[in-house]
Amino acid sequence: MKNNILLEVRNLHISFSTYAGTVQAVRGVDFSLNVGETLAIVGESGCGKTVTVKSIVRLLPQDVAKIHGDNVGITLDGEDLLSLEEVEMSRVRGKRIAMIFQDPMTSLNPTMKIGDQIGEVLLIHKNVSKKEARLQALELLQMVNIPNAEQRIDQYPFEFSGGMLQRVMIATAIACDPEILIADEPTTALDVTIQAQIIELIKNLQRERDMGVILVTHDLGVVASMADRIHVMYAGQIVERGTADEIFYSPKHPYTLALLKSVPKLTEDKQEPLYSLIGTPPDLINPPHGCSFAPRCEFAMKICRIAEPSPTLFGGYHESCCWLHHPKANKSGVPEILLREVV
């Protein structure tokens, strides 16, 4: 498995300078992505998941966002992306690592034809003529199932629906056969029925091309069908990580459990109100002492407000950062699922 590592993120810290003060948006994130694997990063809005993936291709505004940390590194195939010159970095973007965004309606240039926008990425990275780029753009449009591609290619974004635009974004992203596709909340802005189609499309393309996919979302439902491994993020830190099965069937962090409980299930008893987590994520200008989830955690202990918990390993890849796993922890009333030791 180790030899397969395509992308590695080490001890990533990102802070933003704002008028109100320095926001510590990401506070020590580590993960790696293997070839052809789908990795999901899940968390509430504002937890730093989008910032984390944007920093991989260095899309954060350089004047306000600072990437730091001891021995911090983002390496693609052994090459440190953080030390690349801007020009070298632009050769990685779109070619080796492609990205699609949350809102397809605003992510496409309103005054540029669809075909030109897809063709642009080919013109930049592949030594092709404009004619060739157009032909390939047409193929790509057909590949992502846009009907009437011949006519659609000369239309402008405002003539497309949101779902169609997201398909266009995907076509643009896969144009250069990237090794990694980063999908930042790709379905959030779309209708529920369209969401499934888009996820299905990404899944199929990923299988066909053996791409690594990083899927960022707040919706565990989206993740269930396609992620190999899941990272749960809270307040700029990864609080739990594991395979999809481990996270869904054996969560070890109270926050993960809360996220799972707040997903509506068709089978659930209709009398019971849907679980909802109280409060909002903490202010990251002054992050709380200790565990950042403690203020919202019903099982919080004194220690949780004093010291940050360190990761506890549950075998394989499954890890959770929570004081409940300490031998002396007060376990009364804590759901059995959180405590069950997995071997």
Partner 1 sequence: MARFIIKRTLLGLFTLFVIITVTFFLIAGAPGDPIAAKVEQMPEKAQRVIRAKYGLDQPVFKRYIIYMKNLITTGDFGESIIYTGRSATDVIKANAPISVKINIIALLAQVIIGVFLGLVAALNMGKSVDHITRVSVVLAICIPSFVFAALLQYFVAFKWRLVPVFGWGKPAHYVLPVLAYALPGIATYAKYMRSSTLSVINEDYIVTAKAKGATQGRIVRKHILRNAMIPIVTMLGPAIAGIFGSSFVIENVFAIPGLGSYYVNAVRDNDYTMVLGLTVFFAILYVAALILVDILYGVVDPRIKVAGGED
Partner 2 sequence: MVSRESFVNLSDEVFERVGVDPEFSEHLDKPSLTYWADVWRRFKQNKLAIFGLVLMVSILVMIFVGPLISGKNYKYMDSSVKNLRPNSEYWFGTDDMGRDIFTRVCYGGRISILIGFLCTIVMFVIGSTLGALAGLKGGWVDNLIMRFAEVIGNLPYLIIVVILTMVMGRSIFAIVLAMSITSWVGTCRMVRGQILQLKELDYIEAATALGADTARVIFKHLLPNALGIIMVDITMSIPGFIFGEAFLSYVGLGVRPPETSWGALASAGQQQLMFHPHVLFFPCLMIVLTTLAFHLVGDGLAEALDPKLRK
Residue 253 interaction partner, one of partner 1, partner 2, none, beta carbon < 5-8 Å per kind: none
Compute the distance between CA of residue 183 and CA of residue 180 in angstroms, rounded to an integer: 10
312 interacts with, out of partner 1, partner 2, none, CB within 5 to 8 A per kind = partner 2
Quickly list DSSP for 235-269: TTEEEEEEEHHHHHHS--SHHHHHHHHTS--TTS-
H or E element in which residue 171 lies: helix 162-174
Residue from 300, 318, 319, 320 touching partner 2 (CB under 8 A): that is 300
DSSP letter at 93 equals B
120 makes contact, choosing from partner 2, partner 1, none, with CB < 5 to 8 Å by partner type, with partner 1
Using the contact rule CB under 8 A, the part of the chain among 63-71, 89-97, 181-189, 300-308 near partner 2 is: 300-308
Residue 216 near residue 184, CB atoms below 8 Å: yes
Residue 298: name its binding partner from partner 1, partner 2, none (Cβ under 5 to 8 Å by kind).
partner 2
Site for partner 1 in 76-135 (CB under 8 A): 86-87, 90-95, 98-99, 101, 103, 106-112, 120-121, 124-125
68 binds partner 2 (CB under 8 A): no
Structural tokens at position 292: 């950042």
C-alpha distances in Å from residue 150, one per residue of 137, 198, 232 = 10, 21, 42
* H or E stretch covering 99: strand 97-100
Give, as one character, the DSSP assignment of residue 159.
G
The site string for partner 1 over 196-235 (x = CB under 8 A, - otherwise) reads ----------------------------------------
| Contact residues for partner 1, defined by CB under 8 A | 57, 59, 63, 86-87, 90-95, 98-99, 101, 103, 106-112, 120-121, 124-125, 156, 158-159, 169, 172
